[in-house]
Amino acid sequence: MSTWHSLPKTGPEAPLSVVDVGGPAQPLLTIRGLVKHFPLKGGLLGRRRGEVRAVDGVSFEVLKGETLGVVGESGCGKSTTARLLMQLLEPTAGQIVFDGRTVGSRDLPLKEFRRQVQMVFQDSYASLNPRLTLEDSIAFGPRVHGVSATEAMSRAHDLLARVGLEPARFAGRYPHELSGGQRQRVNIARALALRPRLLILDEAVSALDKSVESQVLNLLLDLKAEFGLTYVFISHDLNVVRYMSDRVLVMYLGEVVEVGPAGALFDNPAHPYTRALLSSVPSMDPDHRTEAPALSGDPPNPIDPPGGCRFHPRCPIAAPACAQQAPERSSVSPLHEVRCLVHERGSEHPKALNRSLHDPSNLLRPHNAQEALA
């Protein structure tokens, strides 16, 4: 496996320093109690009338070298979380720790953090400057961080070639002269120009047709193996998430409801919302057609979320306790955690009574998602 340090160096500024501070066992990214509330103002005096609780107490880790998939309905807070991680939005509360150093502190200033963390957005056209050629777009970031013009342009051409675009043909073109798949390749090349350690991919392939989507996904896997990258992969497409991810995190109404290894989460989802999401995936098997909607109604208003478990108004196994008691994280299996009273020892949910943590027969494992929603 190559690293950024093994790339050709043609100038003294070439090796933007990337140091593994904590070693392989330390998570690359640690999020603790991340909160983002958007104030609502109105009236003649513009007084604060409430707030949108877009992200509300999100905590998770991203391990070095893994791909963490993030899924959930529209409006659950996935993209807001991504922008908070990139510091494009200022969090209301919470802490972001990158390789053992707090982002924004003296140990890790924001500019140094952004050298090591880059983002690929969903809209491949809007995220490129229409007045810059492709080579100028890719070289812009390194130039801002002190790389010479010659080295930055050399790096841009090298990255165009690595993402499958011949520099002699594409370097001088403008974004409007490319297809959607080609533009997204340019965005990936631009994100790699600073030689980051973490890429945040926010619906990076959702706007592409399936043939181009598969090419970009395979490109991402190749680049990850080649450069030892770590991904946070946000998508609505559960099949793509399963193909790309080592672990999966499920969000609902601004909160994390389940996180675990991709295989375990897809084969044995523990949270009713996760099971509903998986049951919404169309099946090609005529014997397993979806005859009823997985979920009824829309998610509650994030301005006034329900008390207790936020999923309880739509949950098929909700009990009175779910409206009163907010669930804590419970361990289902190694590295697999869920926020549901059914899996919380000592909760007042009737299905959780006398449940042994190590008794698989009591872990609410339906044969399929439809049984859980029956």
Q: What is the CATH number of the domain that holds 127?
A: 3.40.50.300
| Ranges in the chain, pLDDT < 50 | 1-2, 5-17, 353-374
Q: What is the pLDDT of residue 358?
A: 42
Q: What is the pLDDT of residue 361?
A: 42
Quote the tokens at residue 111: 């500019």
Q: What is the pLDDT of residue 346?
A: 81
Whether 229 contacts 197, CB under 8 Å: yes
User: Which structural domain range is residue 333 located in?
Assistant: 270-372
Q: Which residue has the tokens 């790339």?
A: 7
* Domain match, 298 and 213 both: no
Q: What is the pLDDT of residue 13?
A: 40
* Domain match, 82 and 163 both: yes
* Domain match, 65 and 141 both: yes
Count Cβ neighbours within 10 Å for each residue of 83-102 and write b for 16 or more, e otherwise.
Answer: bbbbeebebbebebbbbebe
* Domain match, 68 and 99 both: yes
Last residue of a domain, one of 212, 232, 247: 247
What does the alpha-carbon distance between residue 141 and residue 138 come to, in Å, rounded to a whole number?
7
* Domain match, 215 and 66 both: yes
Q: What is the pLDDT of residue 208?
A: 82
* Domain match, 231 and 119 both: yes
Position 63, amino acid? L
Q: What is the pLDDT of residue 374?
A: 39
* Domain match, 107 and 183 both: yes
In a domain, 15, yes or no: no
* Domain match, 214 and 296 both: no
* Domain match, 222 and 282 both: no
What does the alpha-carbon distance between residue 195 and residue 198 come to, in Å, rounded to a whole number?
9
**Share of the chain residues as helix, strand and coil, in percent rounded to the nearest 5:** 35, 20, 45
Among the listed residues 352, 374, 349, the one whose alpha carbon sits nearest the alpha carbon of residue 364:
352
* Domain match, 102 and 201 both: yes
CA–CA distances in Å: residue 333 to residues 228, 278, 327: 28, 19, 17
Number of domains in the chain: 2
Q: What is the pLDDT of residue 18?
A: 61
User: How far is CA 120 from its chain centroid?
Assistant: 11
